[in-house]
Amino acid sequence: MAANPSLLVNPSLDDWLAFDAGGTVTVRSGKVDIGQRISTAVALLVADELGIDPGRVRVAPVETGLSPDEGFTSGSQSMTQTGNAVRLAAATARRHLLERAGRALDVDPAGLEVDNGTIHARTTNRKTDYWELAAGALLGIDVDPAAPLRPRAALGHVGGAAGARGLEDIVRGRPHFLHDMSLPGMLHARMVRPPHYHARLAALDEAVAGRLAAEGVETVRDGSFLAVVAADEYAAVRAAERLAAAASWDSGGGLPSGDIYDSLRSNERVSLPVVDGVPVDAPVPLPVDGAATLEARYERPYQMHGSLSPSAAMANFADGLLTIHTHSQGVYFLRAALAEALGMAPEAVRVIHAPGSGCYGHNGADDAAFDAALIARALPGRPVMLKWTRGEEHAWEPYGSCASMDLRASLDGDGRIAAWSHETYSDTYSMRPRPGPGRMGAARLLSARFLAEPLAPPVMGPAMGRHMGIHRNLDPLYDLPDKRLVKHLVRDMPLRVSALRSLGAYANVFAIESFMDELAGEAGCDPVSFRLRHLSDPRGRAVIEAAAARLDPSGADCLEGRGRGLGFAQYKNSAAYAAVVMEVSVSDAAEIRLERCVIAADAGEIVDRAGLAAQLEGGVIQAASWTLHEAVSFDRDGIASRDWDTYPILGFDNAPAFETVLIDPGRQPFLGAGEAAAGPTAAAIANAVHAATGLRLRRIPFTPDEVRAAALA
């Protein structure tokens, strides 16, 4: 197994586990729980390795200076990094404390038994427990990457049914989210935003600001950064409206408003071939001579994270120390970026994670934290709660990049793929606030560009790692003899972008799996058999076969007027395998209904069975929403899709009936499942619509207008 980066950076066992005086175990992780149930999974792993009840395991909030630094919670890596780290930490602690117990009880440690933390000697009536042996002190040893794990047959919790931690508070409406926080003397803040990225504050009616000050409302201004602060939240809301009406903005040239797909083709770009999932700094090879059997172009618009709750942050600047409560997915990187932006030492910035409602990827959380920090620094000594509005979240979050994919392939006389070409055109996905040269971390924070001494957004180079950004899942898992793969990083696109769940994999897999269906049709082969003909990976074959096995191969169980489609991928060609079969119907009004969904997945060893199923099904729902509804709209005056009417999402009335098949390979490495179903879902819907109607949809979202346009083409 490859070295765990989390343990390389945080080797001390005491970074991960503490035996509390009250008879509990505190687990610390650098991965935040944003609904993927990592806190539930790590509690089960630790409980089973220590032989204690999961109720005795406490998972601490992620906080700089206390939690291990594990970078961002991203890339479906929580189990592969944190999961493995805490399991090995618990195994190391168990062995170490049993050795202590052997000395204390004067017996061979091999003759000791553990019952919920109590350690018994088989040959005597003597006993002790973990907490007596640890004595509330640090254990002072490193995690042993070779520590023996308990046999799978001895595990009582891993792989079984478990309730999600914190779920009861959410269901019962108890204070749980960052937005619910209330501290003594807390102030409430609201931002006053320009019309769009390129607008700057031209003038402000100081008389209005003066009247607000007389009413106890502070105005915070730094260049074009403008905010109001009040002791009463509603007063802050009303004051922001008044100050917005008193501000005038220089709009400059406005937002570029040309066709985004034309821009993807015509703008300056950096083009690189991709070999075995890795970009190569070499000339792009020309397409192979000869007529292709099939060519197709697939397109994806800008799309939002669409967090259910707008972003927020709590900040307090007191005695030279800045404390931030945030729903950021990378507290250490955020601390470094804030320190860089504010000219502070990182040790003077404390960042504490608190749950926010609904986001996978880089939404507005880090930007809201910076906004709150700027306001708190201007008003030291009192905590400041800043909440974005729904309109702000929709208009100012960094979106998922638009993309265009050109595919071209040839079939030989036996109906097998003889040559394959895939080119993807897109913007960067790498704008999380990661520090770098030229204050790059600070420059990635939204409000840095509006300060009196502004920082220009950095121009990002192409990501060169394996299956990153634009080229994530660009390289198919299929056995293809002649592959030409190219990524194009396109410059000067109109909207601010960053990491959205699955990065480029959603669009690339949508294109690949739609194209595989089209090629199957050209070859006169059914889609399942065509895929298996080109796939030797046994675990990939197993998930496709498992999904197909839930369906009548003759199609007799598919009701009239419906169609089925399949999508498959291994996320990043290294994480979880997922096959999605979607059954859809298309109404006379050209509306696509999701009737039934079968998911088959292999994510390695199963720890939290219910959590794994929930991640896969939730991934399907999110990707189905992208595929059927979601597209950011804008013009030269700014973002037009600022609410749920102008940016519709999938509703409960169009959720399919799910059947989820989890393939348990035994004690195999965790593969990370959170993003595995996204791309297969888009392709499964597209292929199902084709089966139902004969229409081939290649531009997302598949709105009724798009369906009608395909019918008229």
**How much is the pTM?**
0.96
What span, in angstroms and rounded, lies between the C-alpha atoms of 480 and 136? 58
Written as one string, the DSSP assignment of 457-486 is: PP-PPPP-STT-GGGTTTS-SS--SSEEEE
Least confident of 1-5, 336-340, 573-577: 1-5
pLDDT number for residue 664: 93
Q: Work out the average pLDDT over 401-411.
A: 97
Q: Work out the average pLDDT over 554-576.
A: 90
Beta partners for residue 303, in sequence order: 400
Q: Work out the average pLDDT over 219-230.
A: 98
- pLDDT above 90 (res 526): yes
How far from 387 is each of 174, 181, 357, 369, 488, CA to CA, in Å? 19, 11, 13, 10, 37
Q: Work out the average pLDDT over 439-444.
A: 94
Query: Which residue, among 191, 106, 489, 243, has the nearest Cα to 368 in the 3D structure?
Result: 191
Segments making up each domain of the chain, as ranges = 5-162, 183-252+305-396, 403-428+463-712
CB 31 within 8 A of CB 78: yes
What span, in angstroms and rounded, lies between the C-alpha atoms of 53 and 380? 45
CB 68 within 8 A of CB 16: yes
What span, in angstroms and rounded, lies between the C-alpha atoms of 327 and 314? 10
DSSP summary character for residue 199: -
pLDDT number for residue 561: 83
Residues 6+ away with beta carbon under 8 Å from 299:
261, 402, 403, 404, 405, 698, 699, 700
pLDDT number for residue 1: 53
pLDDT number for residue 344: 96
Per-residue pLDDT band for 352 (boundaries 50, 70, 90) equals: very high
CB 598 within 8 A of CB 581: yes
What span, in angstroms and rounded, lies between the C-alpha atoms of 334 and 159? 34
pLDDT number for residue 156: 87
pLDDT number for residue 290: 66
- pLDDT above 70 (res 289): no
The sheet carrying 349-353 orders its strands as: 218-222, 225-230, 187-191, 384-387, 312-318, 321-326, 349-353
Secondary structure element (H or E) that encloses residue 250, with its range: strand 247-250
5-162 has which fold? Aldehyde Oxidoreductase; domain 4 (3.30.365)
**Amino acid identity at 608:** D
User: What digits encode the pLDDT tens for the residues 623-632?
Assistant: 999 999 999 9
Q: Work out the average pLDDT over 645-658.
A: 97
Query: Which residue, among 512, 462, 505, has the nearest Cα to 487 in the 3D structure?
Result: 462
Tokens representing 555 are 């199609």
Query: Which residue, among 308, 427, 413, 323, has the nearest Cα to 369 in the 3D structure?
Result: 323
User: What digits encode the pLDDT tens for the residues 376-390?
Assistant: 999 999 999 999 999
Per-residue pLDDT band for 559 (boundaries 50, 70, 90) equals: confident
Q: Class assignment of domain 403-428+463-712?
A: alpha beta
pLDDT number for residue 221: 97
* The three-state (H, E, C) secondary structure of 82-132, written as one string: HHHHHHHHHHHHHHHHHHHHHHHHCCCHHHEEEECCEEEECCCCCEEEHHH
What span, in angstroms and rounded, lies between the C-alpha atoms of 226 and 245? 13
Exposed/middle/buried for residue 452 (C-beta within 10 Å: 0-12, 13-18, 19+)? exposed
User: What digits encode the pLDDT tens for the residues 53-90?
Assistant: 999 999 999 999 999 999 998 888 899 999 999 999 99
Same fold, 183-252+305-396 and 403-428+463-712: yes
Q: Work out the average pLDDT over 523-546.
A: 97
Per-residue pLDDT band for 125 (boundaries 50, 70, 90) equals: confident
Q: Work out the average pLDDT over 302-321.
A: 96
Per-residue pLDDT band for 161 (boundaries 50, 70, 90) equals: confident
183-252+305-396 to CATH, choices 1.25.10.10, 3.40.190.80, 3.30.420.10, 3.30.365.10? 3.30.365.10
What span, in angstroms and rounded, lies between the C-alpha atoms of 116 and 129? 9
User: What digits encode the pLDDT tens for the residues 442-499?
Assistant: 999 999 999 999 999 999 999 999 999 999 999 999 999 989 999 999 999 999 999 9
Chain centroid to CA 180:
23
Expressed in percent and rounded to 5, the helix, strand and coil fractions of the chain are 35, 20, 45
Give me the chain's average pLDDT, please: 95
What span, in angstroms and rounded, lies between the C-alpha atoms of 139 and 626? 48
What span, in angstroms and rounded, lies between the C-alpha atoms of 677 and 623? 8
Handedness of CA 88, 89, 93, 94 (dihedral sign): negative
What span, in angstroms and rounded, lies between the C-alpha atoms of 16 and 86? 6
What span, in angstroms and rounded, lies between the C-alpha atoms of 129 and 127? 7
Strands 638-639 and 577-586: unpaired
Q: Work out the average pLDDT over 117-127.
A: 89
What span, in angstroms and rounded, lies between the C-alpha atoms of 13 and 347? 23
Query: Which residue, among 462, 489, 473, 476, has the nearest Cα to 403 in the 3D structure?
Result: 489
pLDDT number for residue 414: 93
CB 509 within 8 A of CB 683: yes
Give the length of the chain: 713
- pLDDT above 90 (res 600): yes
Chain centroid to CA 374:
27
pLDDT number for residue 523: 95
User: What 3-state DSSP class applies to 520?
Assistant: helix
Tokens representing 397 are 């979050």
pLDDT number for residue 581: 98
pLDDT number for residue 2: 67
pLDDT number for residue 448: 97
